[in-house]
Structure 1
Amino acid sequence: MDILVVSQHFWPENFRINALVGALHDAGCRVTVLTGQPNYPDGKIFPGYGAWRIGMQTHPAGYPIMRVPVVPRGSGSALRLGLNYLSFIGTSILFGGWKLRKSRFDVVFVYGPSPALQALTGVYFGAIHRIPLIFWVQDLWPESLSSTGYVRNRFILGGVAKIVNWIYRRCDLILVQSRSFLAHVTSVSGSTPVIYYPNPGDVKSDPAVVGTFDPVRIPDGFNVVFAGNVGTVQSVDTILDAAGHLASAPDVNIVILGNGSKFDWTAEEVKKRSLSNVHLLGRVGPDAAIEAMSRSDALLITLNDSEGLNRTVPSKLSTYLGVGKPVLASMNGEGADIVKASGAGIVCKAENAEELAKAILQMRDMPKEARHAMGLAGRRWYDKHFELGTLTHTLIHHFRETAARYKNQRDAAND
């Protein structure tokens, strides 16, 4: 199949779509990626790229990437984020549409983390090329806008909701990464079918094998590793408050791998509070991060408490489970339910630093055999529900089925 993947963010930025596109390519699909200039999460264009450049790039695996200009995210203010989102929509339609006008695709597949409005590009390509549009919803909009606090005006949120509902109704298939999304999206999607399709993990069979990277140096002691975006919704203040409660446990370390809009604030708070048990190691490559996670004692995942976030399954949870280490989850909703159901770790309420500190000490004081059993349970859940190869073949099936249904509907309309 010939697939156009629309994603504002893509390699060398670290998003789950990277591994999935690679798996589609390996499975024999002919994939073209339409994306922006990489600048996530620091807000600065990566070296070797330019904000206003347009052109084709070949991924090391061999598939083409069409890059269009974007306004960089900058410091992450509401204004800069808005310009960043809108610039991709505009340039992907204008320049991407022109550059790819002679290309032939069977489906257009939109990877939909925030902002959901980037699916407007998919609507355009679906209409112009007369191909089905499949939208993989990662966040509920406008709920995600209100969860982050960037937008609180109910008239703006209402307007965004109308646009998103309009997009849903112009899709030929909607995939949602969380079962909790199903009822909401189905209620506003009209006749468009909605199917659960989780974020696959990207962990190989032996995550402890060191590749061509420098291993991350983590301290001695009981290490709780948080990996990923250090942003507004990750409840970083809860992590720091919990670290304060753990001051009397000098063997416990909280290691943060990643960067994001709250990283500088976190670094300042660590210094201000003299939190010697918090280690900020910054962003590392995905393979190095997975290898470091495999040397941890536990993996930490935190989220703010809001209706929208409680329905979300953070994409890194599947990776955590695949690494095979016990999980400490300070969150509510479906992600917490998965940790409980899998037996992979300990769950405590979102935004409750005292409970998180107690859970960390509980994990530390467990026999190693008990922690090992949790890790194995998580890996079994990963193999059954989140394994990349299996989910890739499922996605290809959805592509083929949707393309066939779309063709039948067009043929019937032309009769």
Structure 2
Amino acid sequence: MCEDLEDFSTVAGPLGVLRELQRVWEELQTVRRLGLQPPVIIELSEISRDTSERFNHWDSPAIAVVRHERGVGMRAAAQAPAELATNLHFLSARPYYPELYPPGLFGYGSGLIWEPGYRFRAAQGGSGNVQVLDQAMLNQLAQSAPNIPQGEKAAGPRVAVLDTGVSGANTQMIDFLRCDVSSPKVVNPDDQHGHGTAVAQIIEAVPNNSVIHPIRALDVDPAGYASGRSYEVLSALLYALYSDSYDLINASFTTSVSSSCDSSLGNTIDYLVAYRRAHRLPGPMLVAAAGNDYGAASGYPANVAGSVVALANTSSGPATYNSTPPMSAITCWAYGGSDTHPLGDLTGRSPSGPTGEAAKLWGTSFAAAVVSGAYLP
């Protein structure tokens, strides 16, 4: 994210505050100076009649997308909130409710969290494929599941798989790709990549009563890997956390973290989780992949307080590729394979398909799927 390569930023906060931001947008000098496009609020209330009421109140948490030239995001995230904190029209029109703003996340000036755009990526080696996991491998993965006491399991069997989609799922899929252009929508389940389908197969292979709910927030990048824009993943995560539709969220993806980025990367996710806790709202468990960065600090969402972080074992012990989660993290271990002993290999499956290292399927993505399966009743 610190390279500031994306052409968008995200702005998070209460829905009413974001609407006030839209109202005063043209008054801001930062907008003209940096060439910022008007914020587009992601409309979560239109996804389902059953959940719309949760996302259309003044104080409902929401996310907006601001488009701009590449290389502008970090300046926008610094300058726009500072100017808003002195804009009398914005401040006078915005009711002051301190309880909406969990302490330590942002000042009460603008009441919004700005982040430069960045990417989430699947926590895997190799590209996904619907047919890659045979029954013997699924059995091996299921046998590696940790033993979770009944009292610590999720409240129910509904699992939101935030991923590339799930082919053959028995429930409809919610699609968040390009949700700033076209609102998130309910569609028939499919998976143009395969990572999400593999994750779902592993969750179901662990003995449980799981009901898979696919939420597409990752797409196929030019190299054949699964990745998603931060506004797509953040909007999907917001819906999964607050819709009261799921008992567990499987997040088999991660972000890159470097020391110069730690202070800014992940503030939006922290806000979404802290907001729920501050209001004592029930919500699903979050199981996140530790990441595959060979001892480097885990990125988000594995850094979210209270999440369960999945680390990978191999046939010879703990995987050397595991990232390092926070000291306070709740951790669980499961089989994830390795580049020398992958869960599957896609070489030769299609003339234009991946070969070599990109064809090998392994990583904490799949350990997370096993752990999610273990936490489901």
TM-score by length of 1: 0.32
More helix by share: 1
Where is the strand percentage greater, Structure 1 or Structure 2? 2
Structure number with greater CO (CA < 8 Å, separation at least 6) is 2
